[in-house]
Amino acid sequence: MKIVLQLLVICCLAFPAKAQQFLSINPNFANSGQSLNTTVTSEFFYFTQGSSPGQFWQDFYMYQGNYIIFPNFVNVVDDDHLEVSWSIPTAAPSGNYEVVWDISFGGYLFPIPGGFNINCIPTQGVIAPPSIRYICPGSSTILTANAGTGFTYQWYKNNALIQGATLQSYSATSSGSYQVRITNAQGCPDLSDPVNVYNASVPNAIISSPSTNIMVCPNQIVTLGTNSGFGYTYQWFKSGVLLNGSTSQFLTISDSGSYTVRITNNQGCSNTSQPRVITWASLPVASITTSTGNPGFCSGSTVGLSTPPTAGNTYKWYKYGNLIAGATSSTYQASTAGKYKVVVTNSTGCSKTSVPLTISLYPIPPATISATGPTTFCQGSQVKLQANYGSTYSYQWYKYGNAIPGETSRNLFANSTGPYKVEVTSAYGCSKKSTATNVTVLGTPAATITPNGPTTFCAGGSVLLKGPNGTGYTYQWKLMGNDIAGATNKNYTATFAGNYKVAVTNSLGCTDISDPVTVTIPCRMKNEMLTENLELFPNPANTYITISGGIPLSFEVINATGQILISQEKNTANVIDISSIPAGLYLIRVVTENGPSTLKFIKEE
């Protein structure tokens, strides 16, 4: 707000420097002997309107040393301007004159900055733009005037001369209104327009999001954020290196580092934040293995699920995506089929979910034993025990609860007494043992023959063959492998040549057949009952036998049971084919004209 001129005394006493700063005269130069009108402008006072011309003439004058020039008249143009008329004397010395407004009754002179030049055209003083500048704390701004040959300079701050500031440039370190007076080679000065310098503030530079150094997980993205302000510009750095293009308030990052932001306000002042360290942690290992080595378990049991344990990790197990209450260790014992997964979280809070593992429930295979014959039998026999079939089954046989080495096939031939079991295992490793099948092996008698004399003798002789003693024993004597009819006593008298055996059966029904005892009759047989001489040879025989006597014969071949095997009438050749009958002792009943007769022979194997 401007002040009315009548208050001039008070104002001028209170604000002399400011009053001077806002007074100017234009034009500010003339030649000697020249008359001209100048305009005085005020940006601080109101000039009283309605004043008569010349009323203030005695208040204005210019001087150089003791030489004073007064104006012809002063006319109030408006609140801000006065018209001042001058006549420059021809004898006026050349140079720069001080123009003052002399408020004599106030006891104060108001000089007009720059003064007035006579017979001297000044070089306009100019300070390089901008005309409004800001200086940041601890910094400065360089004010530079226009250059010229022979120029001298004097810098002013707030209309006060700055001691020693006489160079073309001046470094302003504080706020104020700065001007430069340039005096050219002719000695004519000119005062530049002011450049206003203001103290600027440094912006805060804080990375507020996140507010502390953090460690994040690889699957996360971090956005750094800083404070905002009118006219702010931003530049982000990583580990001191400028990030090209990162010039917004926010920065999205995905790798570890030490991040800072430099904020510049609209006054050109910058500040760099404290570093924010962002570290990407590693993910934990999350995988599932089973205690059985396969993804399943047998009915009636459980399977252990485990993930690699690490100190500081926490664990959560899920089935079909649902959290399993209380399952918080690195292992879990699954008792039902389903799809399982584990979420592992490490000490930095990073989590990883395993690939789901489907656990199956495997059936228990059946385990049964079938005997292909009686399980109670005599010594020397055996019974085949057969387990139930499965194309992928494996087997292990047991006796008295102990695994039988090498018995891992489906079938087992048992030849000794004991309880037998089979363990059947499926391809999934599920096993079951059968119930026991008891095998009983009965004792067998020892069948032996003891001859009571020589076993080689002539026709008509004999030898007593003795069997073994034993309570409850029964006997069956055999000649050439055939039972001898009626020969069921302990002893047997052998009268025919051949191989004799005895079958001994004990009270349990077990039979043992002795080793053979061979009876030999090397002499040819002759039937003494006939008048003719009948001879049978060879004896023993295996293909043909011949009866000699020179007469046709009729005969019958009879086995030990009385069965007629071969019958022939009037066989003149007397040759009998015995190849078709089994080995054994046989009778031949021969009929001649003189009557019947009986011969014996042995058919060899």
Q: Please give the pLDDT value at position 553.
A: 67
Query: Is 90 exceeded by the pLDDT of residue 112?
Result: no
Q: Please give the pLDDT value at position 277.
A: 97
Query: Is 90 exceeded by the pLDDT of residue 176?
Result: yes
Query: Is 60 exceeded by the pLDDT of residue 15?
Result: no
Query: Is 60 exceeded by the pLDDT of residue 55?
Result: no
* Mean pLDDT, residues 570-581: 79
Spatial distance between the Cα atoms of 260 and 333, rounded to a whole number of angstroms: 50
Token pair recorded at residue 549: 């006597």
Q: Please give the pLDDT value at position 9.
A: 32
Q: How do the residues of the chain divide into helix, strand and coil, expressed in percent and rounded to 5?
A: 5, 50, 50
Query: Is 60 exceeded by the pLDDT of residue 14?
Result: no
Query: Is 70 exceeded by the pLDDT of residue 1?
Result: no
Kindly report, residue by residue over 192-249, the tens digit of the pLDDT.
999 999 999 999 999 999 999 998 888 788 999 999 999 999 999 999 999 999 999 9
* Mean pLDDT, residues 367-383: 95
Query: Is 50 exceeded by the pLDDT of residue 30?
Result: yes
For residue 77, count other CB atoms closer than 10 A to its CB: 13
Phi-psi region of 580 (alpha: psi -120 to 50; beta: other; left: phi over 0): alpha
Q: What is the dihedral of CA 502, 505, 511, 513, to 10 degrees?
A: -10
Beta bridge partners of 414: 383
Residue 343 or 59, more confident: 343
* Mean pLDDT, residues 104-121: 73
Residue 385 or 36, more confident: 385
Query: Is 90 exceeded by the pLDDT of residue 18?
Result: no
DSSP 425: E
Q: Could you tell me what percent of the chain has a pLDDT over 90?
A: 57
Residue 605 or 577, more confident: 577
Q: Starting from the edge strand earliest in sequence, which strands make up the sheet with 95-103, in order? A: 29-30, 108-118, 95-103, 60-64, 67-69
Spatial distance between the Cα atoms of 386 and 412, rounded to a whole number of angstroms: 6
Across 446-594, where does the E strand assignment appear?
A: 450-451, 463-466, 474-479, 482-483, 491-494, 498-505, 511-513, 517-519, 525-526, 535-537, 544-548, 553-558, 564-571, 575-577, 584-592
Spatial distance between the Cα atoms of 221 and 147, rounded to a whole number of angstroms: 57
Spatial distance between the Cα atoms of 133 and 176, rounded to a whole number of angstroms: 10
Q: Could you tell me what percent of the chain has a pLDDT over 70?
A: 88
> In terms of Cα–Cα distance, which of 171, 180, 174, 232 is closest to 198?
174
Kindly report, residue by residue over 547-567, the tens digit of the pLDDT.
876 566 678 888 866 788 888
Residue 127 or 480, more confident: 127
pLDDT band for position 257 (50/70/90)? Answer: very high
Residue 8's H or E segment, with its range, is helix 8-14
Q: Please give the pLDDT value at position 46.
A: 65
Token pair 């020249």: residue: 34
Can you list the domains of the chain with their CATH numbers?
3-118 (2.60.40.10), 132-199 (2.60.40.10), 207-280 (2.60.40.10), 289-362 (2.60.40.10), 369-442 (2.60.40.10), 450-519 (2.60.40.10), 525-603 (2.60.40.1270)
* Mean pLDDT, residues 88-115: 78
DSSP 7: G
Q: Could you write out the DSSP letters of every residue in 229-282?
A: -TT-EEEEEETTEE-TT--SSEEEE-S-EEEEEEEE-TTS-EEEPPPEEEEEPP
Kindly provide the b/e burial profile for residues 341-369, where b requires at least 16 CB atoms within 10 angstroms of the residue's own CB. Answer: bbbbbbebebbbebeebebebbeebebeb
pLDDT band for position 529 (50/70/90)? Answer: very low
Give how far Cα 172 sits from Cα of 166, 169, 266, Å: 13, 10, 19
> In terms of Cα–Cα distance, which of 99, 63, 104, 65 is closest to 82?
99
Q: Please give the pLDDT value at position 405.
A: 97
pLDDT band for position 500 (50/70/90)? Answer: very high
Q: Please give the pLDDT value at position 12.
A: 36
Query: Is 80 exceeded by the pLDDT of residue 154?
Result: yes
- Kind of pairing between the strands at 214-216 and 276-280: parallel
Contact 40, 23 (CB under 8 A): yes
